[in-house]
Every structure is written in C-alpha cells, then in structure tokens.
Chains A and B, each alone.
Chain A
Amino acid sequence: MASETSASPLLEVVDLYTHFDTPRGVAHAVDGVSFRLERGRTLGIVGESGSGKSVLSRTIIDILAKDGSVLNQGEVRFEGRDLMALPEKDMRDIRGREIAMVFQDPMSSLNPVKKIGKQITEVLVKRLGMPGAEAKRRAVELIESVGIPDAAQQLDRFPMHLSGGMRQRVAIAIALAGEPKLLIADEPTTALDVTIQAQILDLLRRQQAERNMAVILITHDLGIVAQYTDDVAVMYAGQIVESCSTEELIRRPRMPYTEALMNSAPNLADPPHTRLDAIPGLPPNLLRVPRGCRFAERCPYAAEKCSAEMPALTDDDDPSHIYACWYPLEVKEAVSA
C-alpha cells in the first residue's frame, strides 16, 4: 500500500460521468471528466454556472442523493483507492478526514439552529474520537487560526450572529478540523464582497501552505484562478475542455472557449466604455447535448466539422497542456494568416 500511495497522485479522476435522471430526460451534468491532482497543489476548476462544477465536487466526495436519480460511472482514485467502489461506511471515513469541503454560500451551509462550537466539535468528537473538553480547546484554536477574534466566545454563538465573511471562516475551520489532505472549495467567495473575498482566499492559501493540503478551488472567475491556483481545468457543459498549468492557460489558451471567457470579463486596464466581447447565446441544454463540440453554437471559429464530430482532448508536444478543439487558437491563426 505504502509504495502504491507514493507512486500515485493524491487524487486521480478517470472518465467520470454523473447523469441525473429527471422527468424531462437525462441531464449530462458531468460527462467524462478526467484529471489528476498532486499532494499540496491547488487545482482551479473554472466554468460558467451550470457547467457541472458543483456536481463534480459532490461526486468526488460522494454526497449526491442516493435515490436512484443519480447515475454514476468512472473512477475517483484517492491515494490509489477507487472511492466509487468503496462501501458507504468506508467512504464516510474518507469524508471530513481525508477530503473536506467548503460550500458557496456560508449563509446556508452552516446549520442555523446549531451553535458554531458544536458544528466544529462534532467533527473532532465523532470523527477523531476526541474527548469533549479537548475538542472544545481544539475548536477555539481552529477559530483563532481562521482569523476570528474572541475565539472562545464564538463557540456559543449561532451563525446568524456572524457576518458572511465570518461564517465562511467558520466553514473553513470546520473543514480544517479533520486535517484533510484535500480541501474542495466550491465557489467559496462568490457570495462575498471583493474585500472579504481577498481575505478568505488568502486565508485558504495560508492554511494550505501550513498543512501541505491539496486544494480544488472551484470558481467562475478567471482572475481568482490566475492569482490562487497552480493548475487549472476549464469546464464547459459537463466536460473539461482545456487543462494545463495556470500560467500556461493565461499566456497561451488554445481552446476558443477559454479565450472567450477571458475576453468577456471587463478589464480594469481598459478605458471606460470599451465594448466587451460577450459570448453570444447560452451554454447547451444538458438534456440534449450536441453531438459535436459543445461550444460550436457560440464559437466564432466553428466550422462544419465542429458540430459533426466531438473533438477529443489532445496535446501538441506538451502533454501537460491538453485541450478539446479541432481548430485550436494558434493553429487557426496560422491558417488565416
């Protein structure tokens, strides 16, 4: 086991599918996703809303409903073990201890009727088997470590007594309680102000460095990806369409969707009233995904082949930079030149 662990990456997702059986048809929320994440690294997953980011993260930690409406396939290998094949009891041991999660909206992700202290200590007591008094002491330390003042007094307060930023700090303290090797943060700052966003992301980065955790940082903001991640995967309509190191993505995007995402956000450096390159139209309906490239309908470079045949993930000479496009950006430029 030990040798296997050291050889394999911390997390390796292989050809993962999560479909939802809904009354109106089958929704292809996650459709053949593969990626790997090494220990201590930060992977950004970026995409528009509805592209499958949350479903992907909930599939990895296996907290989607188990009522038969969720159809799963593929492998989620964590330290070499396939989590998808794990019985629920063993999977519970992974959650909180090995993989923890922070959700988008701290207003709704903390239980409104439970005291902050209890929400932290229950991980320590139930999962680490700590005695109550020790768990309390540890909870105070955790609250301090996420930068909340008067830590001891906070234990007896309810989430409603805290601001959004403070609640997200509590949520991070909860996630850190089990000393996980992997933290999945699903848009942890989307519901917060920019100033608080910076504080929370800095906190995450500091904790990660101290604990040598791996982090999956899910966001729809490429600016956050640029500043806080090592590697990045761009998701579109349930699939990863481009993946490489963050620097490479910002410098040399190959997939037209990535470029479009970058151009559609207003840039502080541009003068006022600069016309934005909006992406026309909407992402495809996941109940009826197109046969070819899923971006074809909105892609300025689309050609006939694009809607006929789905491009597979490929690389040029650098296998760490993969993309799914028939006419990747530079190649296209060469053609039109």
Chain B
Amino acid sequence: MAYLRLKTLHLIPVFFLVTFASFMMLDLLPGDTVDAILSDADTGEIGSMEAREALRKELNLDKPLIVRYALWLGNMVQGDLGRSYVTTQPVTEALVQRIPVSLELMIMSQILAIAMAIPIGIYSGYHGGSTVDRGISAFAFGVLSIPVFVAGTVYIWIFAIELGWLPSSGHTDFSEDPWGNIKGFILPALTLATIEFPILMRVLRVDVISTLQEDYIALAKSKGMTTWYILFHHALRPSSFTFVTLLGLQIGQLITGTVVIETLFSIPGVGKLLIDSVDTRDEIMVQGVITFIAIVYVVVNLLVDLLYAVLDPRVARRA
C-alpha cells in the first residue's frame, strides 16, 4: 500500500507541528510553573530562592524552548512523557488510566451518531424532496445550532432529574459493574452524538440522492431486489465517501466535545485530565495529553484513508 505510506508521511509533520505549537503556547501562558508547584495554596508562600532555582534546573526550565522540546521529544520516542509536576505520577500512567474511559465515550458516541445518521440519511435521500425529508432537514438544522453543553444539560434534566433513568454524572469501572458503566456513558455519548449526527446525515442524504440516479441502481431494481436491499447493499457504500471524510474531519470537534462533556458529566477521562492539568499549570501533563490527542488525530485520519480503499476498490488502484 504505497498510498498509505505516502499518507503517513504527510501526517508526520502535522504531528510535530501540533506538539511543538502546544509547547510554545504553554510557555507563553501567564504565570510560572515553578511558582505554581512550590506555592502553598493556603499561605500563598512561594518557597526559597534556592529551592526555586534547583527545581527550575531539575525541570530543565532554565534551558531554551527548542532544547526543552528536543529533550521531551527524545524521551517521548522512548515512551516516556515525564512525570506530573503536581502529583508526580508518570504522565503515561495517568494517560493509560484515562484513555479507556475517553475511548469508550468517543466510540459509543460515534456508534450512536452513525446509527442515527445512516438510516435517517438514507431514508431522507430515498424520499428526497418529500414532506418528511423536509421535516427531517429542518429538525437537523435546529439541532445543529444547539451548543454541546446545552444539549447535555437538557438530557440531564430530562433523563436524570425528571425521569431518573440514568445517572447525571460520575463513572463506574466496567470490571466492577458493567451495566452501571454503560449506563453512565449513555447520556454523555448521546449528547456528543446529537450534535454530530445532523451534518453526517445531511451529507449522506445528498450522496444517496445522487447515487440513486445511477444506472446500476436501475439495474438492481430490474433484477427485482427489494428497496431495502438496494438502499443498504447497492447505494450505501458508493454514497459514503463524504460521510467517511466528514467522520475524519470531525474528530477535532469530537475531541473538543469530549473535553466539555467529561467536565460536565464529571467523567475521569483524558479531557477531564486536560482541564484539571491546565488548572494546576501541570505543563508536562498538558503536553502529554496534547501529544496523545495529536496521535489519535493522525491515526483516525489514516483509518479514514484506509476506509476509502475498502469502500471503493477504484481508490486503491488510482493511488
């Protein structure tokens, strides 16, 4: 797959750019890491000059930015993202604890979004221009304009407070209570899916409408295939190019959404870790999280490209 190798080469600079930019931004943030670590929250004392200098040296904070980046990069390649300035927990360990939580949330939300977008998109496309289709479109545009925290709050109010079906916050380990774990994820995942599916649905609808004009759909009809079979077995795959592209493009939005949602629902995932670490100016932890997010972004985009080739054999050949 020369095609995939080429794509990977494209994404490597993206990775460096993101990690370096985040390094720079953290450096530009007001306040001083050493102060943040040494200052006593209660008294406001900031520690002795000597202690401060020693710590600064230890953390390499006396070196220029580019050198620190190089040092960090060297360690990162070996899988060492450093230790938290605040809790002294290794960053990788903190990530390993939280990644499964965030991943579960993201995957569940994507499954929900896709599960809503595909049938509605196909239905809308098949009945393109009908009253139902126009109703769905209007509804989708409405949903699109709702900010994620508003959607989350509304769901909490309905399903947790009014109906009491699902918890409004918190997290249970899967190993302790599988059903409790899933219940805890339903509302956050639904919230993320709600804001994502309208666009997915709209692009699928447009592509389905044009695919249904194709001769091979007429041929499938003339073979006596059922409408359901034609839509899902003949029309869906050729119509899902933009859909899949969008899934990849929306990963950024999904990550932002996850950060908001984890905070809103107090879910101990990577997003919450990020917000907490920013709060405590735990620079090295923030850097670790951002690195992880950059890797996710790159991997997802590779997967999307791989998916193109699976969806349409002509792509692999063209490359």
Indicate if A158 sits at the interface (CB-CB under 8 A).
yes
Specify which chain A residues have a CB less than 8 angstroms from the CB of B220 in the assembled complex: 111
Which of B127, B219, B317 has a CB less than 8 Å from the CB of A109? B219
A122–B219 Cα gap in the complex (Å)?
Answer: 12
A97–B220 Cα gap in the complex (Å)?
Answer: 13
* Cβ–Cβ contact B216 & A92, under 8 A: no
* Cβ–Cβ contact A113 & B225, under 8 A: no
Which of A92, A101, A113 has a CB less than 8 Å from the CB of B226? A92
Name the residue of chain A whose CB is nearest to the CB of B317. Answer: A160
* Cβ–Cβ contact A95 & B221, under 8 A: yes
Known contacts A95-B223, A113-B237; A108 and B129 CB within 8 A of each other: no
Indicate if B89 sits at the interface (CB-CB under 8 A).
no
Specify which chain A residues have a CB less than 8 angstroms from the CB of B50 in the assembled complex: none
Known contacts A58-B218, A63-B218, A105-B215; A113 and B238 CB within 8 A of each other: yes
Which of B219, B225, B312 has a CB less than 8 Å from the CB of A103? B219
Indicate if A224 sits at the interface (CB-CB under 8 A).
no
Indicate if A225 sits at the interface (CB-CB under 8 A).
no
* Cβ–Cβ contact A178 & B223, under 8 A: yes
A127–B317 Cα gap in the complex (Å)?
Answer: 33
Report the minimum CB–CB distance from B216 to chain A (whole Å): 4
* Cβ–Cβ contact B215 & A103, under 8 A: yes
Which of A67, A126, A178 has a CB less than 8 Å from the CB of B129? A67
Most chain B C-beta atoms within 10 Å of own C-beta, residue among A92, A99, A110: A92
Name the residue of chain B whose CB is nearest to the CB of A114. Answer: B234
A113–B223 Cα gap in the complex (Å)?
Answer: 17
Report the minimum CB–CB distance from B233 to chain A (whole Å): 8
- Total A-B contacts with CB atoms under 8 angstroms apart: 82
Return the CB mask of A81-121 against B: 1 if under 8 Å, else 0. 00000000000111111011101110011111110000000
* Cβ–Cβ contact B224 & A94, under 8 A: yes
Specify which chain A residues have a CB less than 8 angstroms from the CB of B313 in the assembled complex: 112-113, 158, 160
Indicate if A171 sits at the interface (CB-CB under 8 A).
yes
* Cβ–Cβ contact A113 & B224, under 8 A: no
Indicate if A324 sits at the interface (CB-CB under 8 A).
no
Return the CB mask of A127-156 against B: 1 if under 8 Å, else 0. 100000000000000000000000000000
Which of A94, A110, A127, A178 has a CB less than 8 Å from the CB of B219? A110
Specify which chain B residues have a CB less than 8 angstroms from the CB of A103 in the assembled complex: 215, 218-219
Indicate if A174 sits at the interface (CB-CB under 8 A).
yes
* Cβ–Cβ contact A63 & B216, under 8 A: no
Indicate if A222 sits at the interface (CB-CB under 8 A).
no
7 A-B pairs besides A92-B225, A113-B237 with CB distance below 8 A are A63-B221, A93-B224, A112-B313, A123-B223, A126-B225, A160-B313, A178-B224
Chain A residues close to B by CB (< 8 Å): 58, 61, 63, 67, 92-97, 99-101, 103-105, 108-114, 122-123, 126-127, 158, 160, 171, 174, 178
Chain B residues close to A by CB (< 8 Å): 127-130, 214-216, 218-226, 229, 233-234, 237-238, 311-314, 317
Q: Which 9 A-B pairs have the closest CB atoms?
A: A96-B224, A95-B224, A109-B215, A101-B222, A96-B223, A63-B221, A111-B216, A108-B215, A158-B313
